Amino acid sequence: MPTTNAPLDLNRVDLNLLVAFDALMAERSVTAAAARLSVGQPAMSSTLARLRKLLNDPILVRQGRTMVATPVAESLVQPVHKTLTDIKSLLSQRDSFDPGTNHRTYSVMATSYSAVAVLHPLLAQLPTEAPNVRLRIQPFAEEYAEQLARDQIDLVIVPREMVPSGLDVCSEAAYTDCYMLAVDQEHPDVGESISVEEFSELPYLAISPDRRPALAELQLDMLGIPRRVEVTTSFEIAPFLIRGTRLITLIPRTFGRRIAPATGLRLLEPPMELPWATEMMVWTKRMDDDPGHAWLRQRMHHFADAYVQGTPPAPAAG
């Protein structure tokens, strides 16, 4: 930092420099920060040089293969991030949000299942309902809480089991869905229904999104129902591997109904009772009262009601 005690001339401070500083501190990489802000690496390198001159400090120094922040830079991380967050919140405050005229870009993180269930219908509707609203959909990542805190995403749609207790965020159920048995429409051994014994004897495709067992697989394990697992894959690939084979699998009903006509699948009621899956919406507390964010959550509920049909059975009495 400058050694002089003279006050800093704010006319020299470009707000974009603070935005770049925030990105550089979050990524600790010029290349990654440039990608985050959608600028070229040479432009970000030039901005870093301007920051170094402004603060009279190297900010980032190379240590082996990584970039490490200087003590001065570390001391500014939280104040700068809070300042930018406060400015963003101040500028985005409105008495109302008009989807027909307002410009807004939302970053939404979701599983492939949720993207098909509710985000695709919203994407199809946006040109008519909100022509100036853009939706950037990112694949689900387990470190979503950190990305929320960094304001890298606006909303996460995640299975209820993936919302850790004690997380300082807002959340609510987006929708619930049941599981269906999916087989090839010409499956030679499956008629209108199958028994649990037949389920255990047929070749099985286990679904493991994001390198973790799907909820249905965990529930089957809890019920002690064995499977003849021959393939383990993700939601996206499962329908194409089922087609033309004797494989069977369990998939959420809404996902199955959306992709069955295109992939030649047939859906049946499973031969066992499985708890319904619940997908949650998660967002930061500072966005809770934002009218535009509230509109997005409302649209999520709307499309969930329209496309995720059904209501989970009430718990048994006693």
Q: Tens digit of pLDDT for each residue in 140-196?
A: 888 888 888 888 899 999 888 888 877 888 999 998 999 999 999 999 999 999 999
- Whether the per-residue pLDDT at 209 is higher than 80: the answer is no
- Please give the C-alpha separations between residue 155 and each of 108, 109, 208, 274, 278, in angstroms, as whole numbers: 5, 6, 23, 28, 16
| Structural domain includes residue 317 | no
Q: 33 and 154, same structural domain?
A: no
CATH code assigned at 21: 1.10.10.10
Q: 128 and 195, same structural domain?
A: no
Q: 115 and 83, same structural domain?
A: no
Compute the average pLDDT of residues 254-264.
Answer: 88
Chosen domain end from 92, 124, 158: 92
- Whether the per-residue pLDDT at 211 is higher than 50: the answer is yes
Q: 217 and 138, same structural domain?
A: no
The band of 225, judged by pLDDT with boundaries at 50, 70 and 90, is: very high
Identify the pLDDT of residue 142: 80
Q: What is the pTM of this model?
A: 0.67
Q: 16 and 76, same structural domain?
A: yes
| Structural domain includes residue 144 | yes
Compute the average pLDDT of residues 119-130.
Answer: 91
| Structural domain includes residue 132 | yes
Identify the pLDDT of residue 162: 84
| Structural domain includes residue 4 | no
3-48 per-position pLDDT tens digit? 445 555 556 667 888 999 999 999 999 999 998 888 899 999 999 9
Identify the pLDDT of residue 95: 57
| Secondary-structure breakdown of the chain: helix, strand, coil percentages, each rounded to the nearest 5 | 45, 20, 35
Candidates 232, 248, 262, 258; CA nearest to 184 is 248
CATH code assigned at 136: 3.40.190.10
Identify the pLDDT of residue 9: 59
Containing domain of residue 116, as a range? 105-177+277-309
| Structural domain includes residue 315 | no
Q: 264 and 198, same structural domain?
A: yes
Q: 183 and 264, same structural domain?
A: yes
Identify the pLDDT of residue 214: 81
Chosen domain end from 92, 115, 148: 92
| Structural domain includes residue 66 | yes
Chosen domain end from 66, 92, 118: 92
Q: 183 and 169, same structural domain?
A: no
Q: 189 and 300, same structural domain?
A: no
Candidates 148, 279, 275, 309; CA nearest to 209 is 279
Q: 192 and 264, same structural domain?
A: yes
Contact between residue 174 and residue 300 where contact means Cβ atoms under 8 Å apart = yes
Across the chain, mean pLDDT equals: 86
Q: 136 and 208, same structural domain?
A: no
| Structural domain includes residue 67 | yes
287-293: long-range contacts, CB 8 A cutoff, minimum separation 24: 287/154, 287/170, 288/170, 290/89, 290/92, 290/93, 291/94, 291/95, 291/96, 291/97, 292/92, 292/94, 292/97, 292/102, 292/104, 293/106, 293/154, 293/155
- DSSP labels for 31-60? HHHHHHTT--HHHHHHHHHHHHHHHTS--E
Count of domains in the chain? Answer: 3
Sheet-wide strand order for 248-252: 228-233, 203-207, 248-252, 179-184, 265-268
| Structural domain includes residue 112 | yes
Q: 173 and 283, same structural domain?
A: yes
